[in-house]
Chain A
């Protein structure tokens, strides 16, 4: 985390799920590496796939148990959890979103990287919503961008 708020290459590698797992279906990517006192993801997961040894120990994920349901994406107070899924030349990336206007399925949006810079145009595939108004927006991007794209702009 040399640059404020941006994961380093090594850190990105550390949080990247096994690619063969991501080929099988959506899986969570947890970009939370600090010892902050929080266990919201741990209890939000319906499949016990997120392990919190202690409230101040960063979450670990059991990729076999994770179904990519996205409940953790909707709950994480740090908005630090994403979903990825690899599908041939394409990848699906799910990002939390709390702005207006709300994206619609089928709409074309701008996919942003960790610095908020536009990297590609992307189509919205799915929009999930929490009771407290956080959205989890799934977009389709070129495969090589699956660990680059972390935001959208409408």
Chain B
């Protein structure tokens, strides 16, 4: 049901939302006013819509969850095309958008019968335009390699574009600079070098033909398929958010941490009035702070561990704002019919079991899950890379060496898709992979080698921190597996 409401944020301490050009589209017969640069799902959310789709079997409501095309909670039929990920498709004047019966769409008969096919060659294809991919492309392009960055989203920069906080790290790796500003720097660098872009495009397949990678890349916004031949490929597809099991975890109003960041920091839309954050790692702590900046009050952060997982300084920031952090607590259930009306939290004992009688109801309309990430390894898996499950890296990753080379010739992984870590290490891994790709094609060997070794030194210094121990162990496991294979 549409409620007459505008959830757009008009003033923010860090961000500006220019909203220069208005656009209107039709949603189930109603005219929706939106702004250029918004996704369909964001515009609908801003207008007050919470239920985007319904589950097939039980007709349960589903709403905004990930906001970056990784879950299926916003699939709708757009101009007759079913199952469109409305969170990553931009609004356009005159679009006709409908929800799908029991979540399922109907295939059109003729819309995409004769798509235009465009073919071209590139030396390095980078899949994913986030910190890892951008750094790979910049490094390779600087060394003389031709590059193309492909991304599903219609805005470039990956998850950097919603990181309003300042980054840690070293000066040359943008310490003290906000993620949003790092994105601007990287995009400017790549554009000045003349690196090519392909946005709103999904890599559907990667295979090898005649010693080259062939990428099949359909567009998400027009009837067009690109067939790209690439000498080398860097996969920087990032990660997806982990779910937590509890009753009603699928209600609209339960969001992934990144999903809520996209909503408030990319599109300037207030997720709700009162929030509960689940997880006190860095992501959960940062989200709590950013929710308050967006005007949403944070009632509590719950953390199942007996200690916070994130940096003390991030925790101190939210404590100073009066946000309680309940350790050894978790969410027991979400309460609500069509969307979240409250949450019940509970204390956990030493064996992680809920302590009876400690349940407490918190009045919130927003529940944010910050319970970790899983590497997005689909492309390496489909391409035939050998994968392995590494708990320290958050799940299945392509086995790779310290140069980020996988078991498929010419294919690299970098950033979260090679193991969950964080944005600074993603940039460094991107540099290593980009330099090695250029090196493999014979571009400026001395310079490429130097850049690669510098990035490797930086990354190992970064991982000296106790917080870097887990990913370091994970990486060492993967490297030794690669060594055993070759």
Contact = CB atoms under 8 A, between A and B. Distances in A.
A127 interface: no
If over half of A's interface residues share one DSSP class (helix, strand or loop), that class is named, otherwise mixed; here it is: loop
A43 B171 contact: yes
Contacts of A4: 280, 303, 307-308, 315, 319, 325, 327
Interface stretch (A20-28, A61-69, A110-118, A139-147): A110-118
B78 to A, nearest CB: 36
B316 interface: yes
Nearest to A149: B320
Q: Determine the interface band of chain B, counting residues with CB < 8 A from chain A.
A: 35 or more
Contacts of B169: 37-40, 55
Interface string B304-335: 00011001111111111111010100000000
B465 interface: yes
B168 A54 contact: no
Contacts of A6: 316, 319
Nearest to A34: B312
Contacts of B292: 99
A40 B178 CA distance: 12
A44 interface: yes
Contacts, number: 137
B322 A115 contact: yes
Contact of B461 (A5, A33, A55): A55
A40 B168 contact: yes
B308 A56 contact: no
B166 interface: yes
B323 A116 contact: yes
Contacts of A36: 168, 311, 313, 465, 467
Interface residues of A, number: 41
B167 interface: yes
A78 B464 CA distance: 19
A13 interface: no
10 contacts: A5-B308, A36-B313, A40-B175, A54-B461, A77-B175, A78-B313, A100-B12, A115-B319, A133-B13, A133-B14
Interface of B: 11-14, 165-171, 175-178, 181, 280, 292-293, 303, 307-308, 311-323, 325, 327, 424, 461-468
The 6 A-B residue pairs with the shortest CB-CB distance in the complex, in nearest-first order = A78-B313, A116-B322, A5-B315, A40-B176, A77-B166, A38-B168
